Structure 1
Amino acid sequence: MSAGRLSKRAAPVGVRAHWFILLAVLFALAVALAVQGYMHHLAGISDDSVPATGTASAVPNAVSQGGPVVDSRGGTVRTVRPPDRTVALTFDDGPDPAWTPQILDVLRKHHVHATFFVVGSAAIDNPDLVRRIAAEGHEIGLHTLTHADLGAAPAWRRQLEVQGAQDAIVGITGRAASLLRPPYSSENVAVTNGAWSAMQASAEEGYLTVLSTVDSQDWRRPGVAAIERNVTLSGPQGQVVLMHDGGDDREQTVAALDSALKRFADQGYRVTTVGDAIGIDGTRQASTAEQVSGTAFVWGIRLSDVVITAISWALVAAGIVTLIRAILVVGIAAHHSRGARRMQADSRGRRRLDVPVRPRITEPVSVIVPAYNEAAGIEAAVRSIVASTHPVEIIVVDDGSADGTADIVEGLGLPGVLVIRKENGGKPSALNAGLGAASHDLVVMVDGDTVFEPDTVQALVQPFADPRVGAISGNTKVANRGGILGAWQHIEYVVGFNLDRRLFDVAECMPTVPGAIGAFRRDALLRVGGVSDDTLAEDTDLTMSLCRDGWRVVYQDDARAWTEAPASLGALWRQRYRWCYGTLQAMWKHRGAVLQGGAAGKLGRRGLGYLLFLQVLLPLFAPVVDVFAVYGLIFLDPFRIAALWLVFLVVQFLMAAYAFRLDNEPLRPLWTLPLQQFVYRQLMYLVVIQSVVTALAGVHLRWHRMERYGSLRVPPARQGQA
């Protein structure tokens, strides 16, 4: 695929589908997070024998004074208990990978079976244990999906808890359970109105409710001897014994179970399952539809586990990368700033004895101004360049303007200004026309919506004293920074663009000399064929071509240019969409630099790698981070999430404050930084997503010309310093 192919196909309707895909992905992620939050954080296994509180006025006497197995199906209440000398042994809150196997071993040792009331979420986490329980002849009952209190839950949650647990069991074993034990239940006399309502609702779905008559209270972990005393039986009456194989440390339960089973055998009690004790089959073969539903449910939960685990690790990685980037960028910016100060001192004659002084660049410069319908700001732009302290010739290339741009420039009657009129052919063609008319070996390119300070050109061209330097990026400043949108863009220019440029300069992998202010060697431009129109980011494409041709590209922070930034979200979207899309085109066009050596290899492996990971992949992942943050606020510790966000914001603020200090900017606009995280950041992420999809789809993107506001003024000197 070539860069050209990225922009030749036209499918304006089809590209809209990616927003639907994005929403679908975010919705699926939100569902996965909601499932995870519900399964693992909204409820949880805790002390199962904590008695419920509430009145029991609606509970029938047949229940409160009856047997532990309650059948209210069909509206008729019936209860039953195991026959004499029969113990229905039950375990709640499992399966647990540590304790359930040990309990199964003890049961096998004594050749007895029991009923395991499993929690659906624990069953999904430990499916092999559930299958072992069934394979060894034990009975499986339901203990809800997340160990929720059914008596206090609304109807929709009761339904979800019971059906979810059933789906989990069916999906794992292929059999459906007919026995249900509500969490936090105990004996019949403890049934409250809420619990009775839940029991009736479950009965309508075909379930029998199993309470208990003997509570081992092992959940208290009172010691092996105490548990043994709690399960000591007297008399021949049949019992339902409650113990636990999950929910906490069950070492005492395992030890007490072994001795209790010996005693039951010695006393002549038959130990068995609930179903066997009352003469029913506690499970049945699930129907095909139930198996399909159960399997889908289990795999859906597992998939959500995998997704959330992957996202969690990705978030950790993203956080580490972001922190490393902040440290790296600030550290390198400090190094770059010290180097720049040394060079400035050298240029003023205050040099160290061991450092040779580079010659000062005084030769004239050709300044090319491509202009298309720039009537609002062209006068300020041209006048500011004419006022330069460095000798310049100015070439204004009118690219078929329909607003009298060329007439305005000619009407100024300024010396050293040449106006070239041509048919509209795009910015690259205008720049190439200016390049063909340039008289000097050093060329500065500046957009028609940009003004220079008097010493901008002089400062900009000084790095050309190094013969290895083929291009120089200046420091672009936002002129119309009033209002919150202007402040956000001002912060982005100072913190994002300029800090990155310092990094790229030191790493010798500068990917972009901005169209607003850039200086070039004329012969370097001619060697790479001038300005190409292969991409919508001609400045990035040109810079990468120069790097691949072996030239160094540097950043001159004291060469300042003032430009108009978009004043509306729509205009900002169009500008950044073009920038990002064009950058992707340029990255694809110059992908071969990754395998090259020298300056090209530095661009490919350092510059393109940085752009790919931090300006493409990380923003693509950003919506997931935002959704995950909402998940954390709802299901995790909101204070911890807020603290993490605050730490992130503090790091951003400190980095921004340092960048503003380097650029001699007042810190006042940084009050908008927290708000920037909620609106501006998301807008930039959506721009990246839109651009990536557009590029991959090969959809043609037209040049989006920014609206001009006429806010530019000729700066008297060093405007914007603190």
Structure 2
Amino acid sequence: MLATGLLLVAAMLVLNGYVTNVAGETQAVPLAVDNPSPDLERARRGGPVLNLTGGKPASARLPARTVALTFDDGPDPEWTPQVLDVLRRHDAKATFFLVGSKVAQYPELARRIVSEGHEIGNHTYTHADLAAVPAWRLRLELSLTQRALAGATGLHTTLMRPPYSSTPNTITVPQWDSLRTAADQGYLVTLTDLDTKDWSHPGTDKIASAALPERGRGAIVMMHDAGGNRRQTVEALDRALRELTARDYRAVTVTDALGMPSAHQKAGDGEQFAGALFSFAQRTSGWFAIALSWVLFAAGALTLARLAFFAVLAMVHAHRTRGGRRRKGRAPDWPAPPPVTVIVPAYNEEAGIQATVRSLVTTSYPGVVEVLVVDDGSSDRTAELAAALGYRNVRVITKPNGGKPSALNVGIAQASHEILIMVDGDTVFEPATIGHLVRQLADPAIGAVSGNTKVGNRRGMIGRWQHIEYVIGFNLDRRAFELLDCMATVPGAIGAFRRSALVALGGVSTDTLAEDTDLTMALCRAGWRVVYEEKALAWTEAPTTLGQLWKQRYRWCYGTLQAMWKHRGALVERAPFGRRCLGYLTMFQVVLPLLAPVVDLMAAYSTAVGDPLPVVAVWAGFVAVQAMTGWYALRLDGERVSALWVLPLQQFVYRQLMYLVVIQSVATALLGVRLRWHTINRQGTFNSSGTSVGELSVPASR
């Protein structure tokens, strides 16, 4: 699905780029050493209408007192109608050499030209210099124009005028070769006797004077009805026609002037349909390119605004919490440390379960701490290793496998205390973490507290990328979410809750694969406040391979989509939580990631067909803004800012992986596929590496 979508987008971009001369742009070929053949010499001395289909070139001139007014580069929605109006007032006929892409864009103008008795000719599809393109491109330019004419007017034409041409005596050797190739396609090449050079805007008087033949001679006159401001051309045309009438000239089409059959040939029904379809595709590509440009501009602006806004909110949050100011409605501290139950749901966590339990038991929290390890039908030694530690305040509960939510519900039911802390089986706590979490719950309005999750195994590139993401994308955001009262997720790795609040909600729901997001949204909708505690540190083991990372984020993203859909009713509730939280998630976690592949495609396309410097400059600007935000987030979290060196590299693998996960999750949800729980293979970072929790602690300077 993604490949098909990107292929369609690329096709529309290429088509629009080709039409607008962004892709395949040509310019007039500079003059080379002139070494003309005898045929070219003969053509230079001949008339403006060339028949090159025979063995020797033949040319023709117009009879006396006859003028064929010709207009190049149209049709144009502003100037072509004015030219046609002038011609109609003077009862004159003309020949219009039309650019195929403009015919496709303005088919009604092409139809008007034909309906008013004028003649049409082929002026290539993109106004390409035929002397500068290979033979296949030349044939394509002429063929596409015929197709556009067939779709718009139902006609083909036998007349052709190459762009950047003038009188016969100006034909260069490269141009001559291209004219011969065009003649092989059955075209009658039409140049000019009088080139008004109106494209240079010399003034109305000079254009009108240049359009008048001398001493009663016949002439083909070249003018333009598109390609810029043609006010002077329109005025000069009116003046020239009055003068031609006074001189007893007749203004007719090229073929009428030469007494030839009409250049128009009826196109077949299939050709007309194909031409109309191609013209519609061109117009659609143009609309798509414009719309896409605005969408990408809006996406970029929103992304930058989000970074700036969240950085400011994080600054405010840090000032309030570190400056001693109380949170909104915060009650006094606990009169005595309340007892706490820590629930550890575990499935095949033998690699890290002992380190997790040790960190919970060796806490500096002065109150009673009960630890419940709920083994969810593990097939390894998780329960055995947890029980082997022999701590009195640790109880191991075994149950058949039912998923993490069911394990948490068993722990909630078995808990002895009102304050509950939930922690994953691959996570270790700092000694002071439990105390920091419990401190926030002294406020009776707070139902849950999100801790500060950090990546413990950050030595490899994938670990470093996740470390940056956790600090910038998770912990920095949660500061802003608290101030906006729209916390979306208390992470399963570290969170504190009121047991009574969870019981009132019916426990942890099994409806989604993101039980932490689902639970947090339910708490917020029930009127509880959810806050963030930066000092409550938990070190988690992140996936170490791209495959494992994909599985984890796929489940997270799919589960978040499930939770958003489940709680969509919050959008119409009186409290602002739904509109803020779901609106934010929809825009920045769904819509913008879905556009990310198109951004990359646009960048690659722009680099390939144009100047790469603007693309590089925009990319560097975004990275710089992210780096500044990351610098502040790392400083705020007491981390080394040297970790930012991986940020530019993150744009080429990690970023693509994250948006592909979103695309797959959205596709899975739309197709109605039920995703199963994906388990992650643990490496035992905190057991096997010999690294202690203290060695991973945030520097004291924080």
Letter in 1 for 2:359: S
Whole-angstrom distance in 2 between the partners of 1:346 and 1:191: 85
In 2 relative to 1, CA 480–718 (structure 1 residues): closer, same or farther, beyond 3 Å? closer
Task: Indicate the SS of the match to 2:685.
Answer: coil
- Give the 5 Å matches for 1:650-669: 650-669=624-643
Residue 501 (structure 1) aligns with: 478
Pick the aligned partner of 1:302 from 277, 283, 293: 283
Letter in 1 for 2:240: A
Task: Indicate the SS of the match to 2:345.
Answer: strand
Pick the aligned partner of 1:720 from 670, 676, 698: 698
Whole-angstrom distance in 2 between the partners of 1:89 and 1:198: 24
Q: Any gaps of 5 or more consecutive residues in structure 1? A: 1-20, 348-353
How many residue pairs were aligned? 691
Residue 338 (structure 2) aligns with: 363
Residue 248 (structure 1) aligns with: 228
Letter in 2 for 1:370: P
In 2 relative to 1, CA 315–707 (structure 1 residues): closer, same or farther, beyond 3 Å? same
How far 1:122 sits from its partner (Å)? Answer: 2.5
How far 1:412 sits from its partner (Å)? Answer: 1.8
Aligned identity (percent) is 53
More off after superposition, 634-643 vs 421-430: 634-643
Whole-angstrom distance in 2 between the partners of 1:79 and 1:241: 16
Letter in 1 for 2:338: E
Q: Is the counterpart of residue 649 in structure 1 residue 630 in structure 2?
A: no
8 Å Cα contact 2:18/2:24 also seen in 1: no
More off after superposition, 542-551 vs 446-455: 542-551
Task: Indicate the SS of the match to 1:698.
Answer: coil
Residue 632 (structure 1) aligns with: 606
Pick the aligned partner of 2:683 from 698, 706, 709: 709
Whole-angstrom distance in 2 between the partners of 1:684 and 1:44: 34
8 Å Cα contact 2:105/2:282 also seen in 1: no
Task: Indicate the SS of the match to 2:628.
Answer: helix
Pick the aligned partner of 2:80 from 77, 80, 100: 100
Pick the aligned partner of 1:426 from 383, 403, 427: 403
User: Highest relative contact order (Cα 8 Å, sep 6+), 1 or 2?
Assistant: 1
Whole-angstrom distance in 1 between the partners of 2:236 and 2:660: 61
How far 1:52 sits from its partner (Å)? Answer: 5.4
How far 1:120 sits from its partner (Å)? Answer: 1.8
Residue 608 (structure 1) aligns with: 582
In 2 relative to 1, CA 294–456 (structure 1 residues): closer, same or farther, beyond 3 Å? same
Residue 651 (structure 2) aligns with: 677
How far 1:232 sits from its partner (Å)? Answer: 3.6
How far 1:319 sits from its partner (Å)? Answer: 2.0
Q: Is the counterpart of residue 510 in structure 1 residue 487 in structure 2?
A: yes
CA RMSD of aligned residues (A): 2.3
Task: Indicate the SS of the match to 1:280.
Answer: coil
Letter in 2 for 1:472: V
8 Å Cα contact 1:56/1:191 also seen in 2: no
Q: Is the counterpart of residue 180 in structure 1 residue 154 in structure 2?
A: no
Task: Indicate the SS of the match to 2:450.
Answer: strand
Residue 463 (structure 2) aligns with: 486
How far 1:74 sits from its partner (Å)? Answer: 5.4
Whole-angstrom distance in 1 between the partners of 2:335 and 2:301: 43
Residue 207 (structure 2) aligns with: 227
Whole-angstrom distance in 2 between the partners of 1:46 and 1:690: 41
- Give the 5 Å matches for 1:81-100: 81-100=61-80
Residue 441 (structure 1) aligns with: 418
In 2 relative to 1, CA 428–330 (structure 1 residues): closer, same or farther, beyond 3 Å? same
Note the alpha carbon deviations across 1:205-233, whole angstroms, 9 max, x for none.
22111111111122222222332343342
- Give the 5 Å matches for 1:119-198: 119-198=99-178
Residue 34 (structure 2) aligns with: 55
Letter in 1 for 2:348: N
Note the alpha carbon deviations across 1:66-125, whole angstroms, 9 max, x for none.
221112235553221212222111111122233222222222222111111111222333
Whole-angstrom distance in 1 between the partners of 2:641 and 2:420: 34
In 2 relative to 1, CA 51–548 (structure 1 residues): closer, same or farther, beyond 3 Å? closer
How far 1:377 sits from its partner (Å)? Answer: 0.9
Residue 11 (structure 1) aligns with: none
Residue 595 (structure 1) aligns with: 572
How far 1:398 sits from its partner (Å)? Answer: 1.6
How far 1:519 sits from its partner (Å)? Answer: 0.5
8 Å Cα contact 1:329/1:499 also seen in 2: yes
- Give the 5 Å matches for 1:234-633: 234-278=214-258, 279-343=260-324, 357-359=332-334, 362-390=337-365, 391=367, 392-597=369-574, 601-633=575-607
Whole-angstrom distance in 2 between the partners of 1:76 and 1:172: 35
Task: Indicate the SS of the match to 2:318.
Answer: helix
In 2 relative to 1, CA 447–51 (structure 1 residues): closer, same or farther, beyond 3 Å? closer
More off after superposition, 254-263 vs 520-529: 254-263
Letter in 2 for 1:399: D
8 Å Cα contact 1:361/1:462 also seen in 2: no
In 2 relative to 1, CA 103–430 (structure 1 residues): closer, same or farther, beyond 3 Å? same
8 Å Cα contact 1:460/1:519 also seen in 2: yes
In 2 relative to 1, CA 382–479 (structure 1 residues): closer, same or farther, beyond 3 Å? same
Q: What TM-score do the two structures reach when normalised by structure 1?
A: 0.91
Whole-angstrom distance in 1 between the partners of 2:336 and 2:179: 90
Note the alpha carbon deviations across 1:497-538, whole angstroms, 9 max, x for none.
112211221111212111100101111111111122211111
Note the alpha carbon deviations across 1:347-391, whole angstroms, 9 max, x for none.
9xxxxxx99854466112111111111111111111111111113
Whole-angstrom distance in 1 between the partners of 2:31 and 2:6: 39
In 2 relative to 1, CA 376–583 (structure 1 residues): closer, same or farther, beyond 3 Å? same
Q: What TM-score do the two structures reach when normalised by structure 2?
A: 0.94
How far 1:695 sits from its partner (Å)? Answer: 1.4
Residue 210 (structure 1) aligns with: 190
Letter in 1 for 2:470: Y
Whole-angstrom distance in 1 between the partners of 2:335 and 2:145: 80
Whole-angstrom distance in 1 between the partners of 2:26 and 2:557: 52
Task: Indicate the SS of the match to 2:466.
Answer: helix
8 Å Cα contact 1:51/1:190 also seen in 2: no
How far 1:47 sits from its partner (Å)? Answer: 9.8
Letter in 2 for 1:35: L
In 2 relative to 1, CA 638–717 (structure 1 residues): closer, same or farther, beyond 3 Å? closer
How far 1:413 sits from its partner (Å)? Answer: 1.9
8 Å Cα contact 2:23/2:609 also seen in 1: no
Task: Indicate the SS of the match to 2:496.
Answer: strand
How far 1:56 sits from its partner (Å)? Answer: 4.8
